[in-house]
A and B are shown apart, each in its own frame.
Chain A
Amino acid sequence: MTDTDTIVKEIPGSEYDWMSKNYSDTGKLFIYLALSFGLTFLWFFLTIPKGKTWDSMGIAMQSFVSLGMLFPFISHIIMRWITKEGFAMTGKDSLMLGIDLKQGKWKYYILALLLPLIYTELGNVFTLLFDRSVYDPSYYESLGIDKKTLLLFPLNAVVTGLIGSFAALGEEGGWRGYMMPKLLKIFKAHGRIPALIIGGIIWGLWHAPLTCIGHNFGTEYFGFPYFGIVKMCVCCTLMGILLTFVTAKTHSIWPAAFLHAVNNASPSVLNGYINPDKANTNMWMSGTLLSLFLTVLIVLTIWKREDKMLGKTI
């Protein structure tokens, strides 16, 4: 490298200095989304066996494909390196990796662990009310588990969710750790609802390759896979509201990671009594979706009330 090169490199804004360019929040968000979607879709393309559906690839391969959940956080780290936003663990514009239980924040950690238990079980109750035919009193036996073990499922989901939360942390580190703060900043003038909806749709679309191979809703439904992608966007918007709520209240991505991990572990006793093979084909008659919707309504009401008390606007 010549002396001239060294001098040019040090001039801010020069062609050599693209990494320290002042990106706008929208610019940062678009680069982040390109990175996150690009890396994850590449991972799915490389790892999903050709011609296989989600159910036919086996649990071991499903877990391996699910490691794609780590890419939103990896993209977040790369973004901070590109835009020189720094790697602060806590505080404003940080990675939000700190854990602070003071000033009543511990409540949100407990809430993050218990909320999935409540809405999943409630959702299964709704499912049974919608469609009695799915009730199968001995279904758990076909899963190779006894009644006593089935009763431990919710507790097991909480513990395994806590200790094996790294995959969920991978997603939350990106979506709640980087995307949502940027969206909330961009839509500051319009309140947080548009940001939450757009964030949910983006997150739902990120799942599209998995939805196309039958993850979550299978392949036997009307409008496959397009209606599945739409439903995933709806589910992600609702889930995203809960996850953003606990993140905003604690300024940490950990409770969101715990909530996400416990949610993915399907913590419900009634799962042992609901035979999905007997379910009707109308994917929108979902008890879980209804219970999630009700939970989100309650959370939004609480959020709005707390904001009013603090003098903020929703």
Chain B
Amino acid sequence: MAGLLYKDFAEIKGKKLSLILLLLTVAFMVLRVAFPGSDNIADLMIEDNESSPVNLIDDFFILAVGFQMFYLNYIINYSVSRICTADEKNKIRGYLFSCPLKKNTYIASKYIFIGIMTYVCFSLYMIWSVSCGAYILTDSVKSIDFLNVFNAFAAPFFSLSLLIAGIELPMFLLFGRDRAMFIKIGFIMFLAMLVIGYILFGDLSIFEKIDFERIIAWADAHAFELMLVNILLPLITVLLYYGSYRLTVAFYERKEREYD
């Protein structure tokens, strides 16, 4: 198993990627400490609607945290297709199945690898978020709320990435690279068409009615329900991910029998 995991790690150029992410994280932390929200640079200080001070340096770093969240999720998504397509391209599977190796070990290695990646990426996001939050201007309620919005979405967002991986992995393993890519790109294009269609012909005025303060007030009033969702979401995600693994193993074994 360790060998299979290392193969996937090498496949995504893991050492280079780890080094880049590590350097980015250190650079972000150094910059955040060097430019805290308490720095009173006149041109960067503004006031919100309630006359509370907002330091634009804070908002810049919060946006960087948000960008990092999307980037890390992109890495997870990219890794799923990379580790499957590379095996197919290099005819690894044929070689592995000639070895004394159970078929579900190979599939499990893929699922475990993506699980580890999600854990590592989520941990990295937490380090960025904690570093950013520590130096926000204390009086800036808006900036703190801004970061809290990203933090509230982080766990569901990474859970979603794991769920998408739970759909993509069986597609790549069962249908092969070409068909899986066809389905994936087709689905993304369909979603893009829906969005473009809505922008062109839909009612955009609903976005003007979105009131973040009301959302935050609603969240405060429904702390119990939100905590329940926060507890159940990771558990349900892991259960579905495990279900996806079991299904893939079952179908893979059937496929191999038919092939034999």
Contacts and interface: CB of A to CB of B under 8 A. Distances in A.
A155 B122 contact: no
Nearest to A158: B231
A156 B189 CA distance: 38
Contact of B126 (A60, A61, A146, A164): A164
Given A159-B230, A163-B122, A163-B234, A61 B134 contact: yes
A299 interface: no
B224 A146 contact: yes
B230 A60 contact: no
Contacts of A152: 224, 227-228, 231
Main secondary structure of the interface of B (DSSP, over half): helix
A145 B223 contact: yes
Nearest to A153: B227
Interface string A136-152: 00000000011011001
Contacts of A64: 130-131, 133-135
Given A89-B2, A162-B234, A166-B123, A63 B133 contact: yes
B127 interface: yes
A149 B224 contact: yes
Interface residues of B, number: 23
Contact of B227 (A47, A89, A90, A149): A149
Contacts of A114: none
A181 interface: no
Contacts of B136: 60
Nearest to B235: A159
Contacts of A156: 227, 230-231
Which of the listed residues A47, A58, A60 has the most CB atoms from chain B within 10 Å of its own CB? A60
A166 B2 CA distance: 21
Interface of B: 2, 33, 119, 122-123, 126-127, 130-131, 133-136, 138, 155, 223-224, 227-228, 230-231, 234-235
Given A146-B223, A159-B230, A159-B231, 16 more contacts: A47-B134, A60-B130, A61-B134, A63-B130, A63-B133, A63-B134, A67-B127, A89-B2, A90-B2, A152-B224, A152-B228, A156-B227, A160-B230, A163-B122, A166-B119, A166-B126
Which 5 residue pairs across A and B have the least CB separation, nearest first?
A64-B134, A166-B123, A60-B133, A63-B130, A148-B224
